[in-house]
Amino acid sequence: MRNVSYQCTILVVILLIFGQCQSNSGQEEESKETSSILSTTLSEEEILNESEEDFDERMEWWRDAKFGMFIHWGPYAIPAGEYQGEEVEGLSEWIMNTAHIPVEEYEKFSAQFNPTQYEADKWVGIAKNAGMKYIVITSKHHDGFALWDSDVSEYDVMDYAPIQRDLLAELKAACEKHDIKLCFYYSITDWHHPDAQAPIILTTIRMKKKTPTSSSM
């Protein structure tokens, strides 16, 4: 069986695109209050200098929501945990790093990424029916491939993959329809870009795996 894992066990940067997380509940007062919180866009300086109190207030909606869906999705769904006929140990979304796949080889998976049966409305409907309040999706994972029409790179679903659909735009529309907050996980580590390899992060993660602690997380 192919080893496909959707757990998030690595250090990443999650950008919550709050402008796309507005509530359409119909309750005007609640909607206005929620909108004022979730539409806030912080500058780099504000993020770095944000106090614990401000962070706590900004994340209040997430704690109240409690139940949501986290989706890891990208070209790593093509090899699905296998490379060159062998199963690769570890998280499937890390296969480019774990199996030491060269960029030009991994690009072949990206060029095959063609999820023609993708129906965002069905995905969001499942989350809604289960009682979930939000969805987080990997807009760009460490492999550097973007699931939207990027303005800064052609290594994305519109310019590089045969699907040629803005998958995140479709998901956004479905979330607005079903009143589900949408948030984006975005990795600044980028194995496809020579200046964003983040070797320190990778070394730290490997060291932690080799020297596990008994303390609870």
83 bridge partner residues: 86
Which residue in the block uniquely carries the two structure tokens 């989350």? Answer: 127
Q: What angle do CA 1, 71, 45 make, to 5 degrees?
A: 140
pTM, to two decimals: 0.72
Q: Are 162 and 128 in contact (CB under 8 A)?
A: no
**pLDDT of 197:** 83
Q: Which residues of 77-101 are buried (b: 16+ CB within 10 A; e: fewer)?
A: bbbbbbbeeeebeebbbbbbbebeb
**pLDDT of 39:** 45
**pLDDT of 210:** 57
**pLDDT of 211:** 53
Alpha-carbon gap, residue 86 to 95, rounded angstroms = 12
**pLDDT of 37:** 35
Letter for the amino acid at 185?
Y
Strand, coil or helix: 113: coil
Neighbours of 168 (CB within 10 A): 21
**pLDDT of 214:** 38
In order along its 217 residues, the chain shows pLDDT tens digits of 444 333 333 333 333 333 334 333 334 444 443 333 344 567 888 888 999 999 999 899 999 999 999 999 999 999 999 999 999 999 999 999 999 999 999 999 999 999 999 999 999 999 999 999 999 999 999 999 999 999 999 999 999 999 999 999 999 999 999 999 999 999 999 999 988 887 655 555 555 555 554 343 3
**pLDDT of 26:** 39
CATH class belonging to 14-210: alpha beta
Nearest to 145 by CA among 68, 76, 62: 76
Residue 112 CB partners (closer than 8 Å, separation 6+): 75, 78, 161, 162
